[in-house]
Chain A
C-alpha cells in the first residue's frame, strides 16, 4: 500500500511533465495505461521534449524497458500463468511488483504471487489516476516555467537514478554519461546524445 501511494506522487510528476513537454492529456494517460513503466515514460517525453525524433524517443524508452523483460524471466516460473492472465501479468511486471514479490521470497511462492498481483494492480490504479491529475494540472498552468515544471522533470530523473548509484563505479558512470551527453548536445541531433550513453553502458558492462 505504501508503495502505491509513493507511486501516486511519481504519477503526478509524470502527468505534469508529459504535458509540459508538449504531449496532450490523452497521450499522457495512454502512456501510463499502455507503456506503464515509469522510467521509460519519462524518457520518451524527455527525448521528444528536447526536440528528438519519435524513433529516438522510442529507442531510449525501450532500452530502459529491457529490465522489465528480465523481471518477467524471474517472475514467470513463480506465477505459472497462461493466456489472458499472462498478458495481464506481463503488463504489471515492473520494478515495484517484482521488488515486492522478491521481498516475500522466504515466505513461499503464494506470498510472492500475492505480493506481485496486489502491488502490480495497486500501482497500476494509482499511477494512472495520478497521471490524469498531473496532466490536467499542468494543462491549467499555461507557462510551465513559472511553476518550475521545467526543473521538475530533471529532478524526477535524478530521483530515479539516485538509488541506483550504489558504488563509486556507478557514480563515475553516471557523471561520465552526463558530461558526455552535454558535450554531444551541440554536435548530434537531439535525442542521440542520450541514446549514445546506452552504448557506453553496454561497452562498460561487457568489459568489466
Chain B
C-alpha cells in the first residue's frame, strides 16, 4: 500500500470491498468484473421504475414479472465461472 493511501478511502481496501461489493482490485478477472457489471445493471433497472416499465412494454411482460426475472438473473448473471487457468 502506498503512503498516500493512508489518508483516503483506499486505506481500508478490505473494508471497502466488504462494504461495496462492486469495487475491484488489480487482480480482478474479466469474469468477476462482468458479474459486477451485470448485477449493478439489473439492480439499476429494478431501482428505476420507468426503466422497468420500458422493458416491460418492450418484452410484453408485466412489470412484476420483469422485476422477478431481473432478480433471478442476478444469480449467476454470466453463467458459471470459467476454469481457473493458472492453477
Partners in one complex: no
Interface residues of A (CB under 8 A from B): none
